[in-house]
Structure 1
Amino acid sequence: MNILKWFAVSLAVLMLVYAGLTAFGAWRWKAATRALEAALDAARLDGRITRYDAAEIAGLPAPVRRYFERALSHGQPIIRSVDLSQSGTFNLSLVTPQWKPFTARQHVTTARPGFVWDAAILMFPALPVRVVDAYIAGIGMLRPAILGLFALGAVQGKGEIARGELMRYFAEAVWYPTALLPSQGVVWQAVDDSSAHATISDGEVSLTLLFRFGADGLVAEVHADARGGMVGNTVVMMPWDCRMSQYRRQDGMLVPVMGEVIWQTPQGEKPYYRGRITRLAYGFAEEV
């Protein structure tokens, strides 16, 4: 009986400690994430153009022009910020699939380009790993931590780290499509009747991605010839694809709500993100 009582007391203490750590970790993580979002907003630049003019797409490659004709309407307010929520599954390994459920919220600014992605990935029952992935004022960062307290390693800086994060921002611009307009700094170049290259620059960072368009005229896939991915403790450059589907109308625009992100490895395709957008809230130029 004494052993049972000791076990019960020990279990109760462990549960209290776990609850305390969880609450403290959530509080500290939230504060740190809010600070990153404040830094992102502080880096925001003023944009002189507040509404989309359909005349600006007249000289674009045919598939790009068709995309904007479908996705936007003349007079659409220019997006300056986005708050969105996601849910889905995340694969933690390129070798043996380890799909884990996640939820996330993300804050995005389009001028200057940047985002803060705040996710909780359920590694084991009742043991979430908090992850922040961000691009702020030319700096890229990735910070995972168990319960938001115990760091699992972090990367931060310019160079390929920043380039990879800006690449993510650019591929995800289908969620905030006015950011893909020439008036917002994007340069489009023809490839063929169903694809085009798009180039974006932010300070020292400049990159080009291949946008592929479906039979419906909408963006179906965004491709990078090389993006840095973590394999163990090493950054490995690999081809990278983002696939979009299930477009719906939101605030007058057509945007996808389903996405899959894939590494193209010598062993074949290795998907690592499958998610759905559950909430989209825009801040438009005339409101900011």
Structure 2
Amino acid sequence: MWILIVIMVFVAGIFILFQYPGSKTMSDFRESVDNRIANTQKQTDVFAEADLVGLPAPVQRFFRSCGYLGTPKMSYMKAAFRNVDFILSEKQTIKIDYTQYNFVEKPERFAYIRSSLYCIPFEGLDSYGNGFGSMKGTLGKVIPLFNQQGESMNKSSLITILAECFIVPNVALQNYISWEGIDDTHAKATISYYGISASGVFTFNENGEAISFQTSDRTSIDMSGSVREAEWSAIYSDYMNNNGIRQPRVLKSIWHYVEGDCVYFNENESEVVIKYY
């Protein structure tokens, strides 16, 4: 009888823990974001033609065509995805909610992932701050699943910020990014910070929209820590008008493995909601 009571109390405690909205992972995410916001200097300028001097032609066309000229420069961005397809491993795809913040003054990025595995809460924290990148996963709010860190993560996190510079366009104008023209629809960009550099190529369409970014400077690291080299692409599509500026509605991420492409983030084309601050 006492054993049964202990088991029932334990199960009830687990149920209450799962129902409680807070967690250490969420607290760490909020603390990181709140700290950066508190120490971020508010931008007071607007995007102007003078900002475009010296940039490759397709980059200039992006700012003009997508309506940023004359609008306020952002200090940071919040992007929120809901019910996104995410490939957790070779045999498992899950649905996730994904909320991220990208900061301008310094290339920093923090993202919180919420989902479930076998009806048990699963959380992730994808972060890059002070030059250090990491990807942590937690099951049941308290059980660590993985914690990927190191030089490969640092560089991969930095290149992700570069890949997303046109969804928070003030980043594209910062001194830590340099540009090299290729042709009328392609431009190479290099991001350098904390002693790390990474590069990739953006592709633009005839409307001036940035539609993809490809690089070999991002490393594929799975839950077990296995490292794999492959080309990586970010895709931006379905541009929509949002208060006078054009933003992509759908963002995807793809690994180009030898055996074939893997759309590991947002194959179901869930819509992203972008807000500037």
Residues 1:163 and 1:39: Cα distance change in structure 2 (over 3 Å): farther
Per the alignment, residue 217 of structure 1 pairs with: 208
Q: Are 2:47 and 1:56 aligned?
A: no
**1:236, 1:106 → 2: CA distance?**
25
**8 Å contact 1:91–1:99 — kept in the other structure?**
yes
- The equivalent of 1:286 in structure 2 is none
Distance 1:185 1:138 in 2: 13
1:115-154 map, 5 Å: 115-124=109-118, 126-154=119-147
Q: Which residue of 1 aligns with 2:231?
A: 239
Give the 4+ runs in structure 1 shifted more than 4 A.
Answer: 9-15, 46-49
Structure 2 residue 94 is matched with structure 1 residue 104: no
Q: Which moved more, 1:131-140 or 1:251-260?
A: 251-260
TM-score by length of 1: 0.84
Comparing both chains, which one has the higher relative contact order based on Cα–Cα distances under 8 Å and sequence gaps of 6 or more? 1
Counterparts of 2:149 and 2:160, CA distance in 1 = 15
Q: How does 1:184-203 map to 2 (within 5 A)?
A: 185-203=176-194
Rounded to whole Å, the distance in 2 between the matches of 1:135 and 1:82 is 15
Percent of aligned positions that are identical:
21
- TM-score, structure 2 as length reference: 0.87
Alignment of 1:164-179 (within 5 A): 164-179=156-171
Instruction: Kindly indicate whether residue 196 of structure 2 is the aligned counterpart of residue 205 of structure 1.
Output: yes
Helix, strand or coil at the partner of 2:270: strand
* Cα distance, 1:137–1:39 mapped onto 2, change above 3 Å: farther
55, 58, 65: which one pairs with 2:60?
65
Gaps of 5+ in 1: 284-288
* Letter of the 1:27 counterpart: S
Deviations along 1:204-231, whole A, 9 cap, x unmatched?
Answer: 1222111011232211111012311114
How far the C-alpha of 1:38 sits from its partner, in A, is 3.4
After superposition, the C-alpha distances for 1:146-193 in whole angstroms (9 at most, x for unaligned) are: 022100120234x22111011112212222122212x55432111122
Residue correspondences, number:
272
State the superposition RMSD in angstroms.
2.7
Instruction: Give the SS at the match of 2:23.
Output: helix
What is the deviation of 1:64?
A: 1.8
Q: 1: CA distance between counterparts of 2:103 and 2:123?
A: 22
- Partners of 1:89 and 1:99 within 8 A in 2: yes
More helix by share: 1
In structure 2, the CA distance between the partners of 1:43 and 1:203, relative to structure 1 (3 Å rule), is farther
